[in-house]
């Protein structure tokens, strides 16, 4: 019955416990928002390359730090939004052992966006991620052009936004403490070819 519920998206309320258990055995990944499950579409090679570039550079920057960097198969638990999402890259630099399949205390989240997910990345997920007390930076990375939106927590003013659109520009990240250029993010990406 659980598998049936997982495929009948948006039609039946599902408890968090049922979702988490079902997701361990599901053939496709689903995100969960307040009792509803949503199947996730596959990604392009370009999407995967960008996410890998980011994760690779963050891993190099965190070698001597107690940070865990994960690609798209580890969920972020957004408790206050009653949601579980699969970010493209998720980083935690503090003890976060609530569950083997999700993180509750990420400090950095990256979503590589596309035309079909842009609204969700800039609206629903942005709101949910900002409610995470541990989160310091949320990066929304375009895949059809060199463009990164960095939403970051400022100790004095709250949440701030910065946009980067030149390959020589550098993002300064607090978690893990590092820098990342747009050239690093988009290494090997050819924007003359279609992204989707």
Q: Which of 92, 50, 52, 87 minimizes the C-alpha distance to 69?
A: 92
Instruction: In the chain, list all ranges with CATH 3.90.1570.10.
Output: 43-185
Query: Along the 196 residues of the chain, how does pLDDT read in single tens digits?
Result: 233 334 444 468 999 999 999 999 998 999 999 999 999 888 899 999 999 999 999 999 998 888 999 998 899 999 888 999 999 999 999 887 778 889 999 999 999 999 889 999 999 999 999 999 999 999 999 999 999 999 999 988 899 999 999 999 999 999 999 999 999 999 999 988 766 5
Tell me how many degrees the CA angle 26-32-36 measures, rounded to the nearest 5.
100
pLDDT for res 192: 83
The helix (H) or strand (E) run that includes residue 23 is: helix 16-25
Tell me how many degrees the CA angle 56-128-159 measures, rounded to the nearest 5.
80
Task: Write the DSSP string, 62-76.
Answer: TTTTT-EEEETTSEE
pLDDT for res 43: 86
pLDDT for res 97: 76
pLDDT for res 196: 56
CA–CA dist 78, 98 (Å, integer): 13
pLDDT for res 81: 87
Assign domain 43-185 to its CATH architecture. Alpha-Beta Complex (3.90)
Q: What is the pTM of this model?
A: 0.90
Give the three-state DSSP class for 60: helix
CA–CA dist 185, 7 (Å, integer): 35
The helix (H) or strand (E) run that includes residue 127 is: helix 124-130
């Amino acid at each position: 019955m659980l598998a049936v519920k997982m495929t009948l998206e948006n039609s039946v309320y599902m408890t968090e416990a049922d979702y988490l258990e079902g997701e361990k055995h599901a053939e496709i990944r689903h995100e969960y928002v307040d009792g509803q499950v949503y199947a996730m579409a596959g990604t392009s090679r370009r999407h995967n390359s960008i996410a890998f570039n980011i994760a690779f550079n963050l891993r190099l920057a965190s070698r001597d730090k107690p940070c865990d960097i994960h690609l798209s198969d580890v969920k972020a638990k957004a408790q206050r939004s009653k949601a579980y999402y699969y970010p493209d890259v998720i980083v935690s630099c503090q003890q976060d052992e609530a569950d083997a399949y999700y993180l509750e205390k990420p400090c950095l989240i990256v979503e590589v966006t596309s035309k079909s997910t842009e609204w969700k990345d800039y609206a629903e997920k942005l709101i949910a991620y900002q409610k995470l007390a541990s989160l310091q930076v949320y990066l929304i990375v375009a895949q059809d052009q060199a463009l990164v939106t960095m939403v970051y927590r400022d100790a004095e003013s709250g949440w701030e936004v910065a946009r980067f659109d030149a390959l020589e520009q550098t993002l300064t990240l607090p978690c893990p403490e590092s820098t990342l250029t747009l050239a690093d993010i988009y290494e090997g990406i050819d924007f003359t070819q279609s992204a989707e």
